[in-house]
Amino acid sequence: MRGTALPQAQPAEEWGVCVSESAGRNAIDVRGVRKVFGSGDGQVTALDTVSVSIRENEFFTLLGPSGCGKTTLLRLIAGFEFPTDGQIMLHGEDIALLPPFRRPVNTVFQSYALFPHMTVAENIAFGLEMLGKSRSEIDGRTADMLKLVQMEELAKRKTSEISGGQQQRVALARALAPQPKVLLLDEPLSALDYKLRKEMQLELKQLQHETGITFIFVTHDQEEALTMSDRIAVMSTGKILQVGSPHDIYEHPAERFVAGFIGETNFLDAEVVATSAGSATVKLPSGKQIPAGLPEGFQPGSRVSLAVRPERAQIVAADADATLAGVIDNLVYLGTDTHFHLRLDGGEAFIVRQQNSSGSGINFATGDRVGVILGDDAAQILKD
Amino acid sequence: MTSAQDVAQQIERRDIRNRWLLSAPALVIIFLAAIGPLLVMVAYSFMVKGDYGDVRFGEFSLDGWFSVLFWRDIFDDTIGLADAHLSILWRSIRLSFITTALTLAFGFPTAYFIATRPPSTREVWVFLITIPFWTNLLIRTFAMQEVVRNEGILNSLMIWSGIVDQPVQIMYTDAAILFGMVYVYLPLMVLPLYASMEKLDFRLVEAGYDLYATRARVLWRIIIPLVRPGVIAGSILVFIPSLGAYVIPRVLGGGKNMMLGNLIELQFGAGRNWPLGAAMSITVMLIVMLALLVYVRNATRSGVQHG
Ligand SMILES: Nc1ncnc2c1ncn2[C@@H]1O[C@H](COP(=O)(O)OP(=O)(O)OP(=O)(O)O)[C@@H](O)[C@H]1O
Ligand SMILES: [Mg+2]
């Protein structure tokens, strides 16, 4: 969907909110926001003192399991809900109490929420009309948008007469047409089939890059979050646990929940022996000492959990020098990879993922006694 | 030679026959209760009036139809326009129209309120709306007399609070009739409006706000177009009985402020002119049908097609 005319993030004066543009500022600042639904016994704390900053031109993803408060945070930013406590700033301006129609923020709804009584083109033009743009500008921009999402041929169709993927494109075009400062996307791809979803992931990412609009994207699909985002916030039960680049989140999960939610992870018990900046030496129950990544706040002597990604471990023939030792419980051949499900000597389960092209040449079978060696930065100490 | 196509056709034919059988009782009732009497009315309207009411069977006459609009002087046979009939017709249309507009104005927010309650409490509100139906219309209308008459509740309150020092004459005016009709027909507007608002996807309302539409514009551009079927149904349900209202203008409007219902009743009662009454009834029906046709045409042209 590469059109010639792409909407650019536009100067702030066009909007009612007076903001000054300066490079590197945050598009959105969420400060100590709490959101409580209901009262008395039925009270639900959907967001529990959430603070997060989203930079300009960033593809920012909110990732978390169902019910963790992703939609709630998005709705607070859009203005459909108002925070119980805290501030929401757009370019440094508190917008927490502005109604949605005064916020230069648009939403792509999970259900798309296209107006059924309007055509595709009318849907896309709606926001521009409400902003009081001139007819020629509305028509021009609508045509650009139709081109951008490759829907020119279907412009006159009713929205009930187009496919799910096409509806998704219209929803996107409708939200982009008024050139918002921030675009909110609530699981916009979840209704699409796998192939279309992959396609749209790439298109969305490219669109974000070209328009320079800040995207806040909600998903509970960790793979989607890793492939698309500049930064990810991992949420659980109304809290943001960790914010970081996909690499950070994957390689250096700070908490057990994050490590477990994103990708497969092995957990090991250990004791901190010595610490230095950013890393530590830990002792495993077997007595072996290994290096491990260290978040702040751990002293030598503290008992900790380690996270080890299955692909960071390597399986070797049983050997006294190996870091871990155990028996192969199960062996899953996956074409490019083989997964070894081990039972360690301490009784824990441990998974090793080995690429089949690595040509190790050793064939292991179920029931074999094997060793596991870990790379220098394979283990990460978890906060919890 | 029974191909799959034949079988399919047979099944379809049987389906159609079964559907006819199932709707037979309804069709019989519709015929006996609506079309039958209508045919009788048409026949009566073309007969000569009897001296003490009724008609003289088999004697053809256009007098009934003639008298709907015209009037013949008994002494010199000059023909004039039946002003009284026209003014009553005009008053009826005007009052019905205002009633429809007012019930829409009051009913819309009410229906919106109910539709935006949590599902569990909606039923309670709908139930409350239907409570007036439990009491006979005549009794409710007389009760309304208690409200609007000179010594009634409304006037007593106004005098007591010092807004006026003389009772205001409401009883036996068009205002009293309007008051009564709006009160009685309001539920007929609220229920269909609520039925279509309940189906309204409120995420579309949010999408409207998100796209910079103010509350008023969301109402005009999104909510009203989407609940149009309810507006149409409610307006029809209120306009038709308003036009034929009988009890309310009789009790609250007195003898002077007649509406079509009272005029027609007069022909069958004291007027002893059944052909004229029949012709008038059919005229009213034709007016209603015409109005409906125009209204529904206009209202659905730009509206949603519900399939
Ligand atoms: N209007 C509401 N009234 C009461 N509780 C609510 C309301 N909206 C959300 N909640 C509650 O707040 C919590 C967070 O909901 P939210 O919709 O933000 O979750 P989510 O992360 O978007 O989940 P999902 O991935 O399933 O969409 C849930 O426990 C939910 O039940
Ligand atoms: Mg959600």
Q: Which tens digit of pLDDT belongs to each residue from A264-308?
A: 899 999 999 988 887 889 998 888 888 888 877 788 888 889 999
Same domain, A238 and A275: no
**Separation between Cα atoms, residue A305 and residue B237, nearest integer Å:** 71
In this predicted structure, the answer to whether residue B270 has a pLDDT above a threshold of 50 is yes
Residue A166 lies in a domain: yes
* Mean pLDDT along residues A49-67: 94
Q: What percent of chain A has pLDDT over 90?
A: 54
Atom in ligand 1 nearest the alpha carbon of residue A73:
18
What local confidence, expressed as pLDDT, does residue B64 receive? 86
Q: Write out the residues surrounding ion ligand 2, Cβ under 5 A.
A: A 71
- At which residue do the structure tokens 């908490």 appear? A255
More confident residue, A275 or A70: A70
Residue A234 and residue A270 in one domain: no
**Given a cut of 90, is residue A59 above it in pLDDT?**
yes
Structural contact between residues A69 and A45, judged by C-beta atoms closer than 8 angstroms: no
A127 & A231 share domain: yes
* CA neighbor of A182 nearest in space, from A100, A112, A66: A100
Answer with the one of A251, A286, A318 that is the final residue of a domain: A251
Evaluate whether B128 touches B122 at the Cβ level (below 8 Å): no
Return the pLDDT at A356.
81
CA distance B87 to B263: 11
What's the gap in Å between B128 CA and the centre of ligand 2? 35
Q: Choose among A80, A116, A130: nearest Cβ to B211.
A: A130
Confidence of residue A316 (pLDDT cuts 50, 70, 90): confident
Average pLDDT over residues A151-167: 91
- Spell out the SS3 assignment of B162-228: CCCCCCCCCCCCHHHHHHHHHHHHHHHHHHHHHHHHHCCCHHHHHHHHHCCCCHHHHHHHHHHHHCH
Q: Are residues A204 and A234 in the same domain?
A: yes
Judge: A101–B303 Cβ closer than 8 Å, yes or no: no
More confident residue, A198 or A4: A198
What pLDDT sits at residue B307?
Answer: 35
A220 assigned to some structural domain: yes
Which whole number is the average pLDDT over A137-141? 96
Average of per-residue pLDDT across B123-139? 91
Asked whether residue A6 is assigned to any structural domain, the reply reads no
User: Which one-letter amino acid corresponds to residue A219?
Assistant: T
pLDDT, tens digit, 9 for 90 and up, residues B214-233: 999 999 999 999 999 999 99
Q: Tokens 């409580």 label which residue?
A: A36
Beta bridge partners of A351: A341
Higher pLDDT, A188 or A17: A188
Asked if A238 and A361 sit in the same domain, the reply is no
State whether A192 and A291 are in the same domain: no
Span from the CA of A67 to the centroid of ligand 1 (angstroms): 5
Residue A366 belongs to a domain with what CATH number? 2.40.50.140
Would you state the pLDDT for residue B162?
Answer: 87
C-alpha–C-alpha distance, residues B69 and B65, integer Å: 8
**Mean per-residue pLDDT, A331-353:** 89
- Tell me the chain A residues in contact with residue B207 when contact means C-beta distances shorter than 8 Å: 107, 109, 113-115
The whole-number pLDDT of residue A144 equals 93
The residue-averaged pLDDT of B251-280 equals 89
Across the interface, of A80, A131, A178, the residue whose CB is closest to B206 is A80
Q: What is the mean pLDDT of residues B47-60?
A: 84
Interface test with B, best of A14, A105, A117, A129 (most B CBs within 10 A): A117
* Residue (of A7, A32, A30, A50) closest to A183 by Cα position: A7
Look at residue A181 and tell me if it is in a domain.
Answer: yes
For residues A120 and B224, the answer to whether their CB atoms sit within 8 Å is no
How confident is residue A5, by pLDDT bands cut at 50, 70 and 90?
Answer: very low
> Residue A44: is its pLDDT beyond 80?
yes
Structural domain count of chain A: 2
Residues B288 and B241 sit within 8 Å (Cβ to Cβ): no
**Angstrom distance (rounded) from CA A303 to CA A291:** 15
Contact B217 A106 (CB under 8 A): no
Q: Is residue A82 part of a domain?
A: yes
Distance from CA of A279 to the nearest CA of B (A): 47
User: Alpha helices of chain A — where are they, by DSSP H?
Assistant: 70-78, 120-130, 135-148, 164-176, 194-211, 222-228, 246-251, 256-261
Name the residue among A211, A255, A279, A235 with its Cα closest to residue A59: A211
pLDDT grade for A179, boundaries at 50, 70 and 90: very high
The rounded distance, in Å, linking the Cα atoms of A34 and A50 is 7
Mark whether A17 and A138 lie in a shared domain: yes
- How far apart, in whole angstroms, are the C-alpha atoms of residue A12 and residue A256? 42
pLDDT tens string A76-135: 999 999 999 999 999 988 998 899 999 999 999 988 999 999 999 999 999 999 999 999
CA dist A349 and A97 (Å) reads 50
Q: In degrees, to the nearest 5, what angle opens at C-alpha A13 toward C-alphas A11 and A15?
A: 100
Q: How many A-B residue pairs are in contact by the CB < 8 A criterion?
A: 61
Pick from B203, B221, B225: which is nearest to A113 by CB? B203
Q: What is the ipTM of this complex?
A: 0.80
Residue A257 domain-assigned (yes or no): no
Please check whether residues A108 and A163 belong to one and the same domain: yes
Q: Measured between alpha carbons, how far is residue A55 from residues A215, A216, A228, B2, B108 in Å? A: 10, 10, 16, 72, 44
Q: Taking all residues of chain B, what is their mean pLDDT, rounded to a whole number?
A: 89
Is the model's pLDDT at A17 over the cut of 80? Answer: no
What are the chain B neighbours of A115 within 8 Å (beta carbons)?
204, 207-208, 222
| Chain B residue numbers touching A131 (CB-CB < 8 A) | 212
Q: Which is nearest to A231 in space by CA: A241, A219, A245?
A: A245
Q: Do A92 and A193 reside in the same domain of the chain?
A: yes
Residue A125, min C-alpha distance to chain B (Å): 10
- Alpha-carbon distance A316 to A314, whole Å? 6
The set of residues, in sequence order, having a beta carbon less than 8 Å from that of B53 and lying 6+ positions away, is B268, B272, B274
- Residue ending a domain, among A251, A284, A316, is A251
pLDDT value of position A164: 86
A350 in any annotated domain: yes
pLDDT(A6) > 60: no
CATH number of the domain residue A92 falls in: 3.40.50.300
Domain B83-305, what fold? MetI-like fold (1.10.3720)
- CB count within 10 Å of CB A3 equals 17
Check whether residue A171 and residue A297 sit in a common domain. no
- Both A33 and A175 in one domain: the answer is yes
Q: How far is the CA of A71 from the centre of ligand 1 (A)?
A: 7
List all residues whose CB is within 6 A of at least one atom of ligand 1: A 37-38, 44, 46, 64, 66-72, 220
Nearest Cα of chain A lies from the Cα of B206 at a distance, in angstroms, of: 7
Note down the domain range covering A296. 264-382
**Phi–psi pair at A143, nearest 5 degrees:** -65, -40
Residue nearest to atom 22 of ligand 1 (CA): A71
Query: What distances in angstroms separate CA B236 from CA B79, B186, B296, one per listed residue?
Result: 36, 12, 9
Report pLDDT for A320: 77
Tell me how far the alpha carbon of residue B216 lies from the centroid of ligand 2, in angstroms: 28
Most A-contacting residue of B120, B202, B211, B218 (CB-CB within 10 A), to test interface: B211
Model confidence over A189-209: pLDDT tens digits?
888 888 888 888 988 998 898
The pLDDT tens digits of the residues spanning B196-213 come to 999 999 999 999 999 999
What's this model's pTM, rounded to 2 decimal places?
0.79
What's the pLDDT at A360? 57
Distance from CA of B104 to the nearest CA of A (A): 22
Query: Atom 30 in ligand 1: which residue has the minimum CA distance?
Result: A67
Closest CA to A218 of A252, A254, A242, A189: A189
* Per-residue pLDDT at A11 exceeds 80: no
Please give the average per-residue pLDDT across B275-297, as a whole number: 90
User: Are A134 and A161 contacting, i.e. CB atoms less than 8 angstroms apart?
Assistant: no
Pairing state between β A59-63 and A231-236:
parallel
Alpha-carbon distance of B131 to B187, in angstroms, equals 9
One domain, residues A317 and A214: no
Q: With 60 as the cut, is the pLDDT of residue A9 above it?
A: no
Nearest to A32 by CA among A16, A51, A45: A51
- pLDDT for the residue A19: 40
